[in-house]
Structure 1
């Protein structure tokens, strides 16, 4: 089943359409209580279903903007309904109505994708505020997703000093953007971050500061002492690392260039399938880069690396 958006997600940007809320409860009294509270305090259209199965049928026919559901119901309970919505209509938020004795299943439902909850004993005090909060968040998310249909490219450019303390902030900025555009899952975002971190560190230490990795193998403390010394010495201190990130719906391209003399890249090749690289003392950074990125290239001078991470197939529909 293709993921559907809520019924009013495609309305014009300047149109304020009253949200449709589906109230799901096997108790007609609780149904009407929740519905009346919502209609009295908000501009919304309320529909009703007596159990999870009826609700699921209604949602498939025409998805509402929010589902407000009880947990303990016949035919399909609230937990099963939350799972179905999460799996097939991830843009549709679900708010739970919890009764005494349903705390455990409510916790499980929240873990499986429900957006929020309100206790039945506090409907009058909390229901409207909770629903309005969830609707405001999801409305923004839907607008961003709709805007994403027209997005073509984003470009970031940075010129940084030879301070490795800047790397985590820069990498986190790019990882956050990958998550926002749903480029890939969290595991891949971490792997991209590791590759970027290694490439930036290489550009600073081996490129601009011209540090030999063999020095770190022989005397780790001396390696970092020399790094600090060269950061404040000519000709190293005025060198910059230029970082360019180009994000498109198909791939992320990262170009990192240092101002050092470069190095011979003709023999640089680390086979990700060769486990011996894991025990070799040098070349760890390039090994990780070539393992985590789909394509890696160097310029002729050897002071610029281009890394490409392609968006996994199906990433757009899974998110």
Structure 2
């Protein structure tokens, strides 16, 4: 049973977030009202995930992200942000947060984000250990519009990433989540041509996406995912068969939360290079090795 630590100085917000999080799996909920007490809870209980507010007394969300990354690098932190805090969210991602959710989107996005981050954090131990000894690998997948296969592909690439020194486990998770977001863009906005805008019904969004998986011309389209990974860098090229779109205007599943969108923020904050094709059908992302840091996830 996963343990989730919720950190927020407002009791009403902790209760609200606890209620939403309790619908995810059969998890144990821990609570703290600031970053300092959160660190004490983490040391005592070693939660699987940390959900933290941004503005708190004694130690705020950004300071907590940095502290967890320093002392407990294997524990992913999800930041909960207020409206208009895109720049702060991007800073938190650069400092090591695994992901973030706007507070106005908690009811719609929190459970899926918990699933995404927790799934990314889980790994089969023997395969994980083997991947640390991988010298170089490349792979190309031609994926149908199948969310389960997409998730399996991303998990496979995340295991391959263990050969790339990234500093710690959280960095590897962040790279995997950035790849997932890029593939999601290709799936939803590229092949299926589903769009969102502020106020859109997310249930309807997913209903349209699932329906189009079985309709022409969408059902014949494929997502090409190419990965080239060695001990110096990882390069990912994701291409879809749909009409091109303006990556800069894609909000993904983050309607109403900034013009760049959560997916774009995750990609650009995590990767060293993000390049888009002129026709809007392909993105190339590169992450370089962190040679000045110890790759502590070898012991995970």
TM-score (norm 1): 0.47
Larger radius of gyration: 1
Higher relative contact order (CA 8 A, sep 6+): 2
TM-score (norm 2): 0.49
